[in-house]
Chains A and B, each alone.
Chain A
């Protein structure tokens, strides 16, 4: 089905925090400008003016930087709401190492 299970598995808070830090650290690189004071609550499109392509680029960069593999099959627009929602998606959609 298209809809994700609403009862998402619990996400390890430490892992999520690591993703928030990783995303914030990559923002200047992906947006190609200085970004200060970004937190989990910062909106990606409205506050940072991020396009959907830069959002996708951010995920790929995150994979490389943190040496992870992220399943993108269920990635949707709502996941690009804030730094925190993107961190939630990433933390909840890590693929086991091959």
Chain B
């Protein structure tokens, strides 16, 4: 059963209050007020002058378990919200592999689930490793992007992206943070710019995300009562409060701490929040927990993964 051997993240120290971003995105003071007061967004992580390689390097540097195992890493996956994360012809993931001695790995990006691609990448890594039948084989799953275009700066009416990264060493089996199940609901009907579809997406968002969580929890043979904590994507607090109402799940057990202080760190949110949950002592040995995310871009994806700490 797929397991997370080690998890690390990197948030650069720079922070920008959302009010300072209003001009850049053409937001009215009312829109910014709504973001701060209702969505509980406050400031976003930024690394001015830093590159995507700097962000990814910061996360991988925290993976102590990687040292001495470099030759076992068969795959390096970069989970992306956006298909293009750097200007051509830069390739920061390959540069990173060179720096860390991961020269035997097959390197590729995983996308198309937008902000839910991080969970997809863990699932893909687990399936590749299982198929290889090499008990020592490992995969390195990376996430994190630069907010380097207007599109990569904010999600209209929903969230602001923050810069940061996560790195996770996936093993085909292990005792800690085992993946019990994964569910992804792909909704191609939202591949549209029509106003009605945007409204419909808003309308179904929380229910669809709640359903993905219930599907993953059901596949793990569990009920929500067994779930100790949810590690969300950091889109905003309002969306998650609605998911909690739908699930009848206490909002206090959704780790929303980083929404106000870092923003929506692309596909890295779940693992950034993993670190916060560990720091707060919210992950208990043997207790299942959920990572969940929704992504919208060309179509929409609602995903959840149940793990056991």
Q: For chain B, what secondary structure do more than half of its interface residues adopt (helix, strand, loop), or is it mixed?
A: helix
The contact size tier of chain A is: 10 to 19
The proximity string for B residues 199-216 relative to A, scoring 1 for CB distances below 8 Å and 0 otherwise, is 100110010000000000
Q: Are A45 and B199 CB-contacts (below 8 A) given A2-B249, A52-B157, A60-B34?
A: yes
Bound complex: CA of A76 vs CA of B206, how far in Å?
11
Bound complex: CA of A75 vs CA of B241, how far in Å?
9
Contact status A51-B199, CB under 8 Å: yes
Contact status A60-B30, CB under 8 Å: yes
Residues 229-259 (chain B) with a chain A CB within 8 angstroms: 238, 241-242, 244-245, 248-251
Q: For chain A, what secondary structure do more than half of its interface residues adopt (helix, strand, loop), or is it mixed?
A: loop
Residues of B within 8 A of A56 (CB): 34, 38
Contact status B202-A52, CB under 8 Å: yes
Q: Return the contact of B202 from the options A3, A51, A61, A76 (Cβ within 8 A).
A: A51
- Nearest-neighbour CB distance to chain A for B65, whole angstroms, equals 37
Chain A residue at minimum C-beta to C-beta distance from B250: A2
Residues of B within 8 A of A45 (CB): 199, 203
- Nearest-neighbour CB distance to chain B for A8, whole angstroms, equals 15
| Residue A1 is within 8 A (CB to CB) of chain B in the complex | yes
| Residue A41 is within 8 A (CB to CB) of chain B in the complex | no
Q: Are A2 and B248 CB-contacts (below 8 A) given A51-B199, A52-B157, A52-B202?
A: yes
Bound complex: CA of A14 vs CA of B157, how far in Å?
34
Chain A residue at minimum C-beta to C-beta distance from B157: A53
Bound complex: CA of A2 vs CA of B38, how far in Å?
16
Residues 30-62 (chain A) with a chain B CB within 8 angstroms: 45, 49, 51-53, 56-57, 60-61
Residues of A within 8 A of B238 (CB): 75
Bound complex: CA of A45 vs CA of B195, how far in Å?
12
Bound complex: CA of A2 vs CA of B157, how far in Å?
24
| Residue B309 is within 8 A (CB to CB) of chain A in the complex | no
| Residue B280 is within 8 A (CB to CB) of chain A in the complex | no
| Residue A11 is within 8 A (CB to CB) of chain B in the complex | no
Bound complex: CA of A60 vs CA of B32, how far in Å?
12
| Residue A72 is within 8 A (CB to CB) of chain B in the complex | yes
| Residue B33 is within 8 A (CB to CB) of chain A in the complex | yes
Residues 189-205 (chain B) with a chain A CB within 8 angstroms: 195, 198-199, 202-203
Chain B residue at minimum C-beta to C-beta distance from A64: B30
Contact status A75-B38, CB under 8 Å: yes
Residues of B within 8 A of A75 (CB): 38, 238
Contact status A76-B34, CB under 8 Å: no
Q: Are A53 and B34 CB-contacts (below 8 A) given A2-B244, A45-B199, A77-B206?
A: yes
Residues of A within 8 A of B198 (CB): 51
Among the interface residues A45, A75, A76, A77, which one has the most CB atoms of the partner chain B within 10 A? A77
| Residue B67 is within 8 A (CB to CB) of chain A in the complex | no
Residues 71-89 (chain A) with a chain B CB within 8 angstroms: 72, 75-77
| Residue B31 is within 8 A (CB to CB) of chain A in the complex | yes
- Nearest-neighbour CB distance to chain B for A86, whole angstroms, equals 14
Bound complex: CA of A70 vs CA of B198, how far in Å?
28
- Nearest-neighbour CB distance to chain B for A36, whole angstroms, equals 21
Contact status B245-A57, CB under 8 Å: no
Give 10 closest A-B pairs by Cβ, nearest first.
A53-B157, A2-B244, A56-B34, A56-B38, A2-B251, A52-B202, A77-B242, A76-B245, A2-B250, A72-B38
Footprint of A on B, CB under 8 Å? Answer: 30-31, 33-34, 37-38, 157, 195, 198-199, 202-203, 206, 238, 241-242, 244-245, 248-251
Q: List 20 A-B contacts (CB under 8 A).
A: A1-B250, A2-B241, A2-B244, A2-B248, A2-B249, A2-B251, A3-B245, A45-B199, A45-B203, A51-B199, A56-B34, A57-B30, A60-B30, A60-B34, A72-B37, A75-B38, A76-B241, A76-B242, A76-B245, A77-B206
